[in-house]
Amino acid sequence: MAPATVRFRWSYPWDETSGVVSNYILEVSKSSTFSSPLIFSTEKNYYDFPYDNQTGTYYWRVRVKDRAGNENCTQVYRFTYSSEAPVVRLEAQEMVNSPQVRFTFSGSNLAAYRYALSEGDLYRSRWIDYEGGLSEIILPSMSEGRFALFFEAKSPAGVVSGPYGVEFMVDLTPPALSLSADNIFSVNRSRTIFLRAEDRLSGVSQMRLRFAGENWGPWENFVPSKVLQLREGLNVVEAQVRDRAGNESIVARLELYYSAGPPRLEISTPQSVSGPSYTLSIHALPGVSLFVNGEEIKPIGDQWVVNLPVRKGRNVYTIRTEDLAGRSWENTLEIFGQQEARGWELKNFLLLLPLPLGVAGILLFRWWDRRKRQRMEMLLQRRAVPFKPAVQEEKPTTQVGEPAEGAVPLVGRKAIKTLKRRREKVE
């Protein structure tokens, strides 16, 4: 609203001879020639002129006389009265994910503005000069919660508009997300996954999905369940959600296994091992059991950890997998075990011997080491024999009283003694 009055103020005059009359004469007119002016008399050095809802440009001056009747007058001043309120366009985000909140505004017929986070503090705030164009209001170090910004604007004529209240929310906490499925192992390609997302302030609004190693899909409206088409074998599904303030959750992962056949494993092992054991780590497949040499290996987290004992020479291990559908896969691994080399100790001992014996010992040691390496290379080049389960052969059955087919007749002790006597006589 516009102010009810406007105050005219002037300085005190002085007169060194007769002195100044105490009354001042104020003349106000809408014409610069002061035709038909409004005349006011006052003893003070100011006067509050009522507007009476009249708009336009006014001219005013002050006359004063001394006691001798001499008159003097101030220069002519001008002011414009306008009841038009300023127009303000204030833009703000309803929800922000930063402790620093920014508001932008612009306006017309705007000279100054002020703001505060509560309406009571607004009227104690100082007026800030408006410099024109697009301006910013920055609120630093805001905490989480709901707030309101109160804003007032003032025109050059002193007309104040407002207060305006703008509500906003500061949400600094990302949402929590977890993935689950009714069955992580299935023989069906289609699988329904369930997304559980929680956000206590602004609320979850969007989500996106992908398979591990691929690009993210587009952001879409959040739904609590999603049907996916899996690929054969292990599928790692990744999901992410974000709330209405723009906070993104940590990527959630879920492993699903689609069994289109026996579960096969890709295992790589060294050709030779010098230690007494070798630790084999295999990524555990959901819904699949692992057996090594007939012993079931329980997963530790998402890994099967197998400690394989290694003896000197060729070591063969049987690896078998079995899924919940009863399908199994079997293969063999072969690792060649070496003893720890002690050749350097023997060579150092030979260097301590006399020269002829030391040279002979070193030559003998080189020959033995070369033969050992050749033997090892031959064993490594041998092809692994594919695993074949042992099958018990059926033995022919015979009836009582009948000699078995291919049976060897027994020779009694008496017949053996007779043969020995005949040989002695012949000799």
pLDDT in tens, 133-146: 889 999 988 999 99
CATH 3.30.565.10 for domain 87-170: no
Cα 393 to chain centroid, rounded? 62
User: Residue ranges of the domains in the chain?
Assistant: 5-81, 87-170, 190-258, 264-359
Looking at the DSSP assignment, which residues form a beta bridge with residue 58? 79
Contact between 110 and 173 under an 8 Å Cβ cutoff? The reply is no
d(CA 292, CA 188): 28
Q: Please, which residues have CB within 8 angstroms of residue 339's CB and are 6 or more apart in sequence?
A: 274, 312
Q: Which CATH number fits domain 5-81: 2.60.40.420, 2.60.40.10, 3.40.190.10, 1.20.1250.20?
A: 2.60.40.10
Q: Which residues pair with 48 in a beta bridge?
A: 7
Neighbour count for residue 89 (Cβ, 10 Å): 10
Kindly report, residue by residue over 363-393, the tens digit of the pLDDT: 777 788 788 777 777 766 665 445 444 444 4
Q: Do the domains 87-170 and 5-81 match in fold?
A: yes
pLDDT, one tens digit per residue, over 93-112 is 889 999 999 999 988 888 89
* Averaged confidence pLDDT in the chain: 81
Helix, strand, or coil (residue 427): coil
pLDDT in tens, 43-66: 888 888 776 656 678 888 988 887
**What are the start-end ranges of the H helices in 201-334?**
none
Superfamily of domain 264-359: Immunoglobulins (2.60.40.10)
Domain 190-258 matching CATH 3.40.50.20: the answer reads: no
Return the half-sphere exposure (C-beta side, CA atoms, 13 A cut-off) of residue 293: 9
d(CA 178, CA 244): 18
92 burial (CB, 10 Å; 0-12 / 13-18 / 19+) is: middle
pTM equals: 0.55
pLDDT 10s digits, 231-252 = 888 899 999 999 999 999 999 9
